[in-house]
Structure 1
Amino acid sequence: MPSVDERRHGRERPSGMRRPAPLPPVLATRPFTVADAEHHGVTRARTRANDLGSPFRGVRTATVPDDLEALCHAYAARMPATQYFSHSTGALLWEIPLPRRLEAESLLHVSSAAGSQPPRIRGTVGHRGARDAVIVRHRGLSVASPCDAWCQTVRLLSLDEAIIAGDRLVGWPRPLVTLGDLDLAIAAFGARPGARRIASARTSIRERSASARESRLRLVTMRGGFPEAELNSAIALSSGRNTHGDLVYRRYKVLLEYDGEQHRLDGRQFATDVNRLNDLSEDAWIVIRVGKHMSEREVLARLERALSSRGWTR
């Protein structure tokens, strides 16, 4: 039975139909335009064969694009130099965490350079780019800079979603930008739609968050009235080893850790964690491990008990 993708792209081949001629090697492994195919001696009839996908008008693929990056490369085959991927599409290409409703969006957001017309191609959402837009090459694609993509997307996000996405820009251990870069981009963005939420989010963005879950945990503790923690801060242990913690309350020797699945499923990681926790215990650190099924109320209650036992008061 043909797959959903085969039906969607017209790939179901009637029984007895002759298999289409092989494509030239230069076209078999990448998206290509009909004009490019003709340049390499491929007939129009061959480009209409049902073994090829057509994700965008005038574009053909030998394989169905199965993720966002592959779909962007398919559109890039026909993309003029005046266009670039922007907004939520740009943010996702930079692996900035966005809510599922945006991750699941099937349309590509494409901006045009100032003075040129935005695209009006089925499968895309066209935007007029700003004159001061910063465009870079990323994974072989023309993409809005991480800061610009974040600014463009914020108006579609809740405040917490905007902060979590912003934390990734300056996250740990591989930040995409500096806080200075972000501030320059925000200033250039000016009073465009979303500017008010951008300003609100910026006050709560912090460096060195390692994941969206850590950022969310930080926001929960801050709004619970607790001191602000250091993020992924280094801790020197008396054993001679060094480690770091997700949320570190150094003054009180309390550590809040998000316990991901990899900590239990990876045997080597589990053994490392045991030694690390033993070292922290010997140095009188209180470690609170937070699992994905732990409620916010329980996290805050445990944190309050731990900090209060070390002299913290509200």
Structure 2
Amino acid sequence: MPRPPRPLPAPLTWGPFTVSEARGHGVSESRLRAKDLSAPFRGVRAPGRLDSVIELCTAYAARMPESQYFSHLTAAQLWGFPLPRALEEPLPVHVSAVAPAREPRMKGVVGHRGVSGAGIRLLLGLPVLAPAETWLQLAPFLGIDDLIAAGDRLFKWRDHLVTRDELDEALQRMTQQAGIRKARAALREVRQNSNSPRETKLRLQALRAGFPEPELNGEISLPNRKRTWGDLVYRKWGTLMEFDGEQHRTKLRQWNRDVDRLNDLVEAGWLNTRVRKDSQDHLERLDRNLRRRGWRPGLR
């Protein structure tokens, strides 16, 4: 029966470390090759397996010089931008280097030249490209609707990452960025206070079908001094459109609250178009509800 590996020195047990650090603590080469350690990047070891983008970035940061920072798809994942599933893989890690330093080249890393004057933020203790510049870097990777959904994340309801001025300044700095025309086109359709990519896609569907611009997560007054918020609110016509999430059916407490809320909306005179994951007729229902309140195509 093989012997278990010798315990690591205490300072190396809390997370990723460099090979040179381990040697400084007297750790042997054979111990660094033991199966209880992973080697996510050249010159780095970590206790156990690393699977998430945060774990991998923390591992790379153990050997990261001050001239480098996380960017592109990696920065987007760290900031919580919605991405297509195919782009959510934690590897490779995207890293940019500030001139005159050269971009990194090693297995598991995609190196880039840094953006001149780019803002770098500390996020979870990691140097990460600022969210406005990160969004602009997504343009070559995403289709226009996914780019709009990512742009809405910048101004998410109750969780804005940037101000409009910060985004405009990033646009001025990054005029040579690949996909800048697509980013400018997407920006014209980015809105404040969306709460999810599904809301973004629903809004785009409705607008492209000729319906008026909705208010996103607008506050609605209910009887007995209650208040709630609607996903897409057409206040002028007393109509809203909302997603019916899984929790409405699987959690009894949530279901009860939702029934009470719907009754309150009806009592307050609102018409509500509920949208399920597999809904096909929600735009027809929205059309009927809006027309009941006097809307006609062309009215805004």
TM-score relative to the length of structure 1:
0.92
**Which of 177, 183, 187 is equivalent to 1:198?**
183
Q: What residue number does 2:136 align with?
A: 151
Q: Structure 2: 5+ residue runs without aligned partners?
A: none
What SS class does the counterpart of residue 155 from structure 1 fall into?
coil
Quick check: 270-279 or 87-96, which moved more? 270-279
Preserved CA contact (<8 Å) 1:232 1:245: yes
Q: Give the 5 Å matches for 1:232-311.
A: 232-295=217-280, 298-311=281-294
What SS class does the counterpart of residue 37 from structure 2 fall into?
coil
Letter in 1 for 2:99: A
Residue 291 of structure 1 deviates from its aligned partner by 0.8
Q: What residue number does 1:160 align with?
A: 145
- Give the whole-Å Cα distance in 1 for the aligned partners of 2:124 and 2:252: 33
Residue 105 of structure 1 deviates from its aligned partner by 5.9
- Give the whole-Å Cα distance in 1 for the aligned partners of 2:20 and 2:29: 9
Give the length in aligned residue pairs: 297
Residue 88 of structure 1 deviates from its aligned partner by 0.8
Residue 189 of structure 1 deviates from its aligned partner by 1.1
- Give the whole-Å Cα distance in 1 for the aligned partners of 2:248 and 2:21: 49
- Give the whole-Å Cα distance in 2 for the aligned partners of 1:202 and 1:147: 11
Letter in 2 for 1:312: W
Quick check: 41-50 or 90-99, which moved more? 41-50
- Give the whole-Å Cα distance in 2 for the aligned partners of 1:181 and 1:270: 40
Letter in 2 for 1:305: R
What's the % identity of the aligned pairs?
48
Preserved CA contact (<8 Å) 1:135 1:145: yes
- Give the whole-Å Cα distance in 1 for the aligned partners of 2:90 and 2:75: 13
Letter in 2 for 1:176: L
Letter in 1 for 2:142: L
- Give the whole-Å Cα distance in 2 for the aligned partners of 1:245 and 1:182: 27
Letter in 2 for 1:211: S
Letter in 2 for 1:30: G
Against the structure 1 CA distance between its residues 65 and 105, is the aligned structure 2 distance closer, same or farther, given a 3 Å change threshold? closer
Q: What residue number does 1:130 align with?
A: 115
Letter in 2 for 1:179: R
Preserved CA contact (<8 Å) 1:53 1:62: yes
Quick check: 73-82 or 225-234, which moved more? 73-82
Residue 109 of structure 1 deviates from its aligned partner by 0.6
Residue 26 of structure 1 deviates from its aligned partner by 1.9
Preserved CA contact (<8 Å) 2:139 2:178: no
Letter in 1 for 2:77: L
Residue 240 of structure 1 deviates from its aligned partner by 1.0
Q: What residue number does 1:29 align with?
A: 14
Q: What residue number does 2:52 align with?
A: 67
Letter in 1 for 2:282: V
TM-score relative to the length of structure 2:
0.96
Residue 251 of structure 1 deviates from its aligned partner by 0.5
Residue 187 of structure 1 deviates from its aligned partner by 1.7
Preserved CA contact (<8 Å) 1:97 1:165: yes
- Give the whole-Å Cα distance in 1 for the aligned partners of 2:79 and 2:33: 34
> Is residue 217 of structure 1 aligned with residue 202 of structure 2?
yes
Residue 60 of structure 1 deviates from its aligned partner by 0.6
Residue 229 of structure 1 deviates from its aligned partner by 0.2
Residue 50 of structure 1 deviates from its aligned partner by 2.3
Q: Give the 5 Å matches for 1:33-112.
A: 33-104=18-89, 106-112=91-97
Q: Structure 1: 5+ residue runs without aligned partners?
A: 1-15
Preserved CA contact (<8 Å) 1:239 1:279: no
What SS class does the counterpart of residue 38 from structure 2 fall into?
coil
1:165-191 per-residue CA deviation (whole Å, 9 max, x = no partner) reads 000011112111122221221121113
> Is residue 230 of structure 1 aligned with residue 215 of structure 2?
yes
What SS class does the counterpart of residue 287 from structure 1 fall into?
strand
